Chains A and B, each alone.
Chain A
């Protein structure tokens, strides 16, 4: 009888926990910005995605990103076509995603204007290859908007992005990714 009572309370506790994330503290945007930049002595390549979907939970620190590959805009249309067709194979792998945690969420006071920093770490998935990524996020809170900026570097070859020998010198193996998103409270 006692064991059943304990089990019942355990279940109730878990059920409440499962609903916890739905109770406010979610910050979202569908117009986040991600830029990637490749520098070599031959050529600089850059593209911007202004339609990144991203959200974080200010209670748990969970943070997620989803970016459509075809939303990366290049100055040259042909370069954009090659990026999608040959390098990223975006018909097969339409999105890149990130799922991770703002590790020191308690230090980021999303309701008090100010500038806060925290380590952000998690898993980045590009072309169905998932790797761990960590960086520092800078959170600027002003008038209800939480602007988040972060930069990190990836090696495209880690994510199965094949670079043919003929253009090997034109594409850096250290691509700088810059994230810049204005989050607003969701509920």
Chain B
């Protein structure tokens, strides 16, 4: 009996060899660390609208975006490729959290610019913050000729603004969801009974398929009774492919608008009518 107890103690105190013994590094007084979520989306756009991602300091994200004609146009129009709206632009990182951007679109020959500031980063550990959040303010100036040259046209009639709060959460390594409450302000609207201020909420979902490819969904819901009867909300389904320095976003959408005021408030095509377009964004990051 005593022998059995003694043998038990021998076994209990024998040095135990672990595959990766790291006992020398044990530090019970180590300060708790904060783990920040990163790469919530593959790039700074969900599909049409901005994501919470910002360009890092001194990086320039060059963007070319195309939205084509209706796929239902058939082979004659090469499924819409014969008609295209285009935006060329870029986002620049002043700091990791503060970005500015410019762009020029074929739609109304619009020049746009924005300032985007990421003020909250999702984290766990010492600091627990459930979401990443950013504010973005855009301004666009349409430079195409006024449609009604006989009325009194002022420069301010060319201008529109969009302000958005972008709030996103990376739920798992693969799944991120973003909500984007939005205000679009048009200095000039087409008739007196239309509002200059349009409220909308964007919802974006991104699900990783592999490490470098994702499926994205984006919908901008405009609150009722703000737009003309024939306007609809924009819905887009897309596929992101990330290579070394590029992100290719390929998608189907009903809107041809390459900037916020256009795709949120000027969309007339309806998915249920089969008026779907193919579009793509190509983003290429350069370092300075």
Contact = CB atoms under 8 A, between A and B. Distances in A.
Interface of A: 3-4, 7-8, 10-11, 14-15, 17-18, 21, 26, 28, 30, 53-57, 62-64, 66, 75-78, 81-82, 84-86, 89, 91-92, 97, 99, 123, 125, 130, 164, 166-167, 170
Interface string B1-26: 01100110110011100011111110
Contacts, number: 89
B20 A10 contact: no
Interface string B55-68: 01101000000000
B25 to A, nearest CB: 5
A85 B6 contact: no
Nearest to A84: B38
B127 interface: no
B22 A166 contact: no
B287 interface: yes
Contact of A99 (B7, B20, B173, B212): B20
Contacts of A10: 10
A100 B109 CA distance: 66
Interface of B: 2-3, 6-7, 9-10, 13-15, 19-25, 27, 38-39, 56-57, 59, 96, 173, 211-212, 242-245, 285, 287
Nearest to A85: B39
Contacts of A89: 173, 211
A7 B3 contact: yes
Contacts of A54: 25
B6 A82 contact: no
A165 to B, nearest CB: 11
Contacts of B25: 28, 53-55, 64, 66
21 contacts: A11-B13, A14-B13, A14-B14, A15-B13, A17-B15, A30-B27, A53-B25, A55-B24, A62-B21, A64-B21, A64-B22, A66-B25, A78-B56, A78-B287, A81-B39, A82-B244, A86-B211, A97-B22, A164-B212, A166-B243, A167-B244
A86 B173 CA distance: 11
A3 B3 contact: yes
Nearest to B61: A78
A14 B10 contact: yes
A78 to B, nearest CB: 5
A143 to B, nearest CB: 23
B48 to A, nearest CB: 22
Contact of A78 (B3, B19, B59): B59
A8 B211 CA distance: 58
Given A7-B10, A78-B245, A167-B244, 7 more contacts: A7-B3, A11-B10, A26-B24, A66-B25, A77-B96, A78-B56, A92-B173
A63 B9 CA distance: 28
A1 to B, nearest CB: 10
Contacts of A64: 21-25
Contact of B38 (A53, A55, A85, A99): A85
A69 to B, nearest CB: 12
A78 B96 CA distance: 11
A114 to B, nearest CB: 24
A78 B60 CA distance: 11
